[in-house]
Amino acid sequence: MASYRLFYWPQIPGRGEFVRLAFAAAKVPLPEVNDVGKLVALTSADGGVAGHEPQFAVPVLEVQPERQAPFYLSQTGNILQFVAKRFGLDGEQPGVESDVTHAQVLQFTLTGLDWALEAHNVHHPISVALYYEDQKPEALRYTQAFVHERIPKFAKHFQAALTLNRQRHNVRRLVGTKTSVADLVLFQVLEGLRFAHPRAMQRLQDSGDAADLEPFRAELAEELKEYLGSARRRPFSDGLFRYYSELDL
């Protein structure tokens, strides 16, 4: 049995939350290192942890196998794919080869993370090294495309996926018969968008174009309620998903 630690920023849910949800769903402990100095050292372009692959950015997962040296993994979709196989969050589909199922789960995982990245770019369209206040005109322009085109496009895509998989397996999940990391990503993106763009998300719901997304979100919230009700669940603030009234519909 391996043990794990998450290296991520203090306080914010951010991209670390996708990893936390996978561990919460699998009921596997995930202690965290939130010391900014250690995070900067780990992701330093000049080497990171001596003897280990360099990590471009957090979240970074430390994997400590029994009786072997620890190793480090980053890229959120990659971490999720890795733990999904170990924790049974990999979207089992009766009669489908596991490499095909894993690819379908990774595909929806990456598309969900793309949606989250665009939600981040709403308040940081020019540079992550500048404050939102230093890129407000660009953020306002980006918002128009995001709320009018991109939210509906992503939402309809996931609606189509939920519809197809329900026809196959009579369950409201993206791939196969049970909750996978792709579902956890979609859940967290929907939570974040409700926080950051409440008016745009209300309009989406009223349109009926993606009618399964809200019941999907509610089902996942029920499944994860122990974690979501705990002190480990961090509230949205000024991370990946941010609420600025002028950046909503």
Residues that bind a second copy (CB under 8 A): 45-48, 51-54, 56, 71, 73-75, 77-78, 81-82, 85, 99-100, 103-104, 106-107, 110-111, 114, 125-130, 135, 138, 141-142, 144-145, 149, 153-154, 156-157, 159-161, 164, 175
Per-residue DSSP letter, 146: I
Q: How far is the CB of 175 from a second copy (least distance, A)?
A: 8
Hey, how many other C-beta atoms are within 10 angstroms of the C-beta on 63? Answer: 17
Hey, how many other C-beta atoms are within 10 angstroms of the C-beta on 31? Answer: 9
**C-beta of 54 vs 198, nearer to a second copy:** 54
All residues at 6 or more sequence positions from 87 whose CB lies less than 8 Å from its CB, including other chains: 22, 23, 25, 26, 28
Say if residues 118 and 150 touch (Cβ distance below 8 Å): yes
**C-beta of 109 vs 224, nearer to a second copy:** 109
Q: How far is the CB of 88 from a second copy (least distance, A)?
A: 14
Q: Can you give the length of the chain in residues?
A: 249
**C-beta of 1 vs 231, nearer to a second copy:** 1
Per-residue DSSP letter, 229: T
Q: How far is the CB of 230 from a second copy (least distance, A)?
A: 28
Q: How far is the CB of 126 from a second copy (least distance, A)?
A: 5
| Calpha distance 117→162 (Å, rounded) | 22
Say if residues 132 and 142 touch (Cβ distance below 8 Å): no
Q: How far is the CB of 48 from a second copy (least distance, A)?
A: 7
**C-beta of 113 vs 224, nearer to a second copy:** 113
Q: How far is the CB of 82 from a second copy (least distance, A)?
A: 5
**C-beta of 149 vs 238, nearer to a second copy:** 149
60-64 β-sheet, strand order: 32-33, 3-7, 60-64, 71-74
**C-beta of 35 vs 53, nearer to a second copy:** 53
| Calpha distance 171→214 (Å, rounded) | 15
